[in-house]
Amino acid sequence: MAKFRKKPVVIEAIQWTGVESQIGEVFAMLGENKLPHAPDDPHIKPGLGYCPPDGSLSIPTLEGTMMAKPGDWIIRGVKGELYPCKPDIFDATYEAV
């Protein structure tokens, strides 16, 4: 069986605090990229969704809509897409550059 090593990749990320005023930072991460939207796919909803009671943020991703809870990281992928990442996974996968 062949062996492979994951290519090193530099990503941009912010840690979501659950505060509505931080949504602007999330949009700034998008730059000129757009959030995915597939009108015929019920799993992908257009736009970010903020839920004030628990501070969660719904994020349309290429794999469907995902939730970021306070403390989660929001990562901009290599194609400009956004997706949430749990803090323990983030710490095990990424290091500051």
Q: From CA 86, how far away is CA 73, in angstroms rounded? A: 6
Secondary structure of 48-92 as H, E, C letters: CEEECCCCEEEEEECCEEEEECCCCEEEECCCCCEEEECHHHHHH
Residue 16 has pLDDT above 80, yes or no: yes
Asked if 31 contacts 80 with a C-beta cutoff of 8 angstroms, the reply is: yes
Give the mean model confidence (pLDDT) for residues 24-35: 80
pLDDT 10s digits, 64-96: 889 999 999 999 988 888 999 999 999 999 988
pTM: 0.80
Residue 13 near residue 85 (C-beta atoms within 8 A) = yes
